[in-house]
């Protein structure tokens, strides 16, 4: 199969897989919110957010780092992959072993502390997936990751139905989370084993190279903890678990839609890095512009749709008990805009090896956001958390754009962006005028209006789709 066809297949399967896993993820949230209720769902959100913070601390940027290093010329990929896995296992084991111990010092209910200890297993499994994901990105075989995610979500949804049937406890739900993550890891590991020898490497010269390349990414990710997950973690310390559950329900919806940007940039990163490392500026410029246009087309209708349809979305996803999640979701929808652009320019920084030059953005963003959280959350609760999340995402996204602009001399064309904004506005007016319809029907109608507007304004064309998919 040619490279262009591989890229097209990679993209299409990712989109299909992400669509299915997103649907299953929403089903899982719907089941959990209704079964657990506000307080116990708050326990779940607190547990996951705590471990995500620890998980981010041990992330070290392994996904983009793996993809970037494997794409470098004259690299022994098998030997490098062994050492990336060895490095990941050691760091994950050390840090995740500490998570339950750290949790003992937090003023959480006993159930939450027990859940953290149990669910640590899932985060160990997820940490291994980061290397496999980077490997599949390099190989242009991200359909494997998509299939693995779908398998994991199926295990989760089926398991939740069984838990409901047995009227099992909250702890049983958290054990299921770990089982689902292990299923994900196995589904990632088994195909990789057929493509290359999977083993753990402990070659210090290679580890030294990994550390040198990763430390700016790792440091930026450590500061990312503050503005990505600090809101939920600090909210759990200053507010009730019920309010954590209300805020967390909205946050989980945002988490799901955020994955779309990460999925797309995960596809584009090895292509951008490959073109840049070989000084192919024409191809890089083309891919960079395509990434910008595509992310805008994906992100803007999501922002508009979430803001206008926040109430029916929360009722549909989580039930009437979580109607109070509407306002937080509307506020957080604005943050999605910054998050999507942060995803573009953050991945581009890795592709052009300018991680060190963007580090100051994450450091200052973390300091400002932490101060904001500590002021706003005790005073305004979940609304303070939501507005500070908006600030942090926009701050990082905007500054990344201007920083990357210094190193990529070719400016991004705004012609398509103007048409996308107009199309999203038309879609927004359309769905706002039809409040009596079911939310699923509104999503379908809104998608149709948006697509028609994109084609009518010539923001998108069959040629553009072919270019994005690299079908020539």
What is the band of 463 on the pLDDT scale with cuts at 50, 70, 90? Answer: low
115 against 53, higher pLDDT:
115
pLDDT in tens, 275-285: 777 777 788 88
Cβ within 8 Å of residue 164, ≥6 positions away: 31, 35
Task: Take residue 209 and report the two structure tokens written for it.
Answer: 């190279």
75 against 275, higher pLDDT:
275
d(CA 442, CA 431): 6
Instruction: Say yes or no to pLDDT of 68 above 60.
Output: yes
What's the pLDDT at 462? 66
Q: DSSP labels for 185-251?
A: HHHHHHHHHHHS-------HHHHHHHHHHHHHHHHHHHHHHHHHHHHHHHHHHHS-HHHHHHHHHHH
Determine which of 38-42, 142-146, 357-361, 414-418 has the lowest per-residue pLDDT on average. 142-146
Determine which of 14-18, 65-69, 81-85, 148-152 has the lowest per-residue pLDDT on average. 65-69
Instruction: Say yes or no to pLDDT of 387 above 70.
Output: yes
444 against 260, higher pLDDT:
444
CB atoms near residue 231 (< 10 Å)? 28
What interhelical angle do 204-238 and 355-380 show, nearest 10? 20
55-69, 110-124, 213-227, range with greatest mean pLDDT: 110-124
What's the pLDDT at 310? 92
Give the 3-state secondary structure of residue 1: coil
Give the residue-averaged pLDDT of 48-77.
69
Instruction: Say yes or no to pLDDT of 452 above 60.
Output: yes
Nearest to 78 by CA among 18, 154, 138: 138
CB atoms near residue 252 (< 10 Å)? 23
d(CA 263, CA 143): 11
What is the band of 162 on the pLDDT scale with cuts at 50, 70, 90? Answer: very high
Where b means 16+ CB within 10 Å and e means fewer, 289-307 reads: bbbbbbbbbbbbbbbbbbb
Give the 3-state secondary structure of residue 411: coil
Give the residue-averaged pLDDT of 1-21.
66
Determine which of 48-52, 56-60, 136-140 has the lowest per-residue pLDDT on average. 56-60
Nearest to 160 by CA among 140, 148, 174: 174
Nearest to 292 by CA among 354, 361, 362, 340: 340
Instruction: Say yes or no to pLDDT of 314 above 50.
Output: yes
d(CA 16, CA 368): 38
Instruction: Say yes or no to pLDDT of 378 above 90.
Output: yes
Task: Take residue 48 and report the two structure tokens written for it.
Answer: 């996951």
Question: For 263, phi and psi rounded to 5 degrees?
Answer: -60, -50
Instruction: Say yes or no to pLDDT of 134 above 70.
Output: no
Q: What is the dihedral of CA 331, 116, 157, 88, to 10 degrees?
A: 90
Give the 3-state secondary structure of residue 8: helix
Nearest to 283 by CA among 275, 293, 291: 275
Instruction: Say yes or no to pLDDT of 472 above 50.
Output: no
283 against 227, higher pLDDT:
283
Give the residue-averaged pLDDT of 186-191.
84
Strands (E), 365-452: none
Give the residue-averaged pLDDT of 318-324.
89
Where b means 16+ CB within 10 Å and e means fewer, 4-30 reads: eeebbbbbebbbebbebbbebbbbbbb
CB atoms near residue 442 (< 10 Å)? 21
What's the pLDDT at 61? 61
Give the residue-averaged pLDDT of 439-457.
90
Instruction: Say yes or no to pLDDT of 3 above 60.
Output: no
What's the pLDDT at 355? 73
What is the band of 65 on the pLDDT scale with cuts at 50, 70, 90? Answer: low
* Mean pLDDT of the residues in the chain: 82
CB atoms near residue 182 (< 10 Å)? 17
d(CA 228, CA 342): 12
295 against 428, higher pLDDT:
428
32-46, 47-61, 345-359, range with greatest mean pLDDT: 32-46
What is the band of 471 on the pLDDT scale with cuts at 50, 70, 90? Answer: very low
CB atoms near residue 344 (< 10 Å)? 25
Give the residue-averaged pLDDT of 90-94.
77
């Amino acid at each position: 199969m040619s490279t262009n066809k591989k890229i097209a297949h990679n993209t299409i399967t990712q989109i299909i897989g992400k669509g299915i896993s997103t649907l299953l993820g929403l089903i899982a949230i719907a089941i959990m919110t209704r079964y657990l209720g506000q307080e116990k769902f708050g326990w779940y959100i607190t547990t996951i957010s705590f471990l995500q913070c620890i998980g981010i601390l041990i992330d070290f940027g392994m996904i983009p780092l793996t993809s970037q290093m494997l794409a470098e010329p004259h690299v022994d990929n098998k030997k490098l992959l062994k050492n990336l896995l060895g490095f990941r296992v050691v760091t994950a084991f050390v840090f995740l072993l500490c998570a339950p111990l750290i949790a003992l010092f937090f003023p959480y209910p006993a159930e939450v502390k027990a859940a953290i200890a149990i669910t640590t297993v899932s985060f160990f499994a997820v940490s291994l997936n980061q290397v496999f994901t980077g490997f599949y990105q390099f190989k242009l075989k991200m359909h494997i990751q998509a299939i693995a995610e779908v398998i994991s979500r199926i295990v989760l949804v089926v398991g939740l139905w069984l838990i409901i049937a047995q009227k099992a406890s909250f702890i049983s739900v958290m054990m299921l989370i770990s089982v689902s993550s292990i299923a994900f890891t196995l589904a990632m590991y088994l195909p990789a084993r057929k493509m290359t020898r999977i083993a753990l490497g402990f070659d210090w010269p290679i580890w030294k190279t990994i550390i040198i390349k990763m430390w700016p990414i790792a440091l930026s990710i450590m500061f990312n903890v503050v503005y990505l997950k600090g809101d939920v973690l600090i909210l759990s310390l200053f507010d009730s678990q019920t309010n954590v559950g209300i805020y967390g329900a909205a946050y989980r919806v945002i988490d799901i839609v955020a994955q779309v940007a990460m999925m797309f940039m995960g596809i584009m990163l090895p292509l951008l890095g490959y073109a840049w490392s070989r000084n192919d500026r024409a191809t890089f410029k083309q891919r960079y512009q395509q990434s910008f246009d595509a992310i805008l087309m994906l992100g803007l209708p999501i922002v508009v749709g979430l803001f206008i349809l926040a109430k029916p979305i929360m009722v549909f996803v989580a039930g009437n008990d979580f109607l109070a999640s509407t306002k937080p979701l509307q506020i957080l929808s604005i943050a999605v805009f910054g998050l999507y652009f942060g995803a573009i320019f953050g991945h581009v920084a890795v592709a052009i090896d300018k991680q060190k030059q963007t580090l100051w953005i994450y450091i200052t963003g973390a300091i400002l956001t932490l101060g904001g959280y500590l002021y706003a959350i005790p005073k305004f609760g979940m609304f303070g958390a939501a507005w500070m999340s908006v600030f942090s995402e926009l701050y990082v996204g905007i500054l990344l754009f201007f920083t990357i602009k210094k190193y990529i001399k070719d400016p991004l064309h705004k012609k398509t962006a103007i048409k996308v904004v107009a199309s999203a506005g038309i879609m927004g007016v359309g769905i706002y005028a039809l409040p009596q319809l079911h939310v699923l029907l509104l999503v379908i109608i809104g998608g149709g209006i948006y697509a028609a507007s994109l084609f009518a304004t010539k923001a998108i064309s069959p040629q553009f789709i072919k270019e994005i998919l690299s079908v020539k």
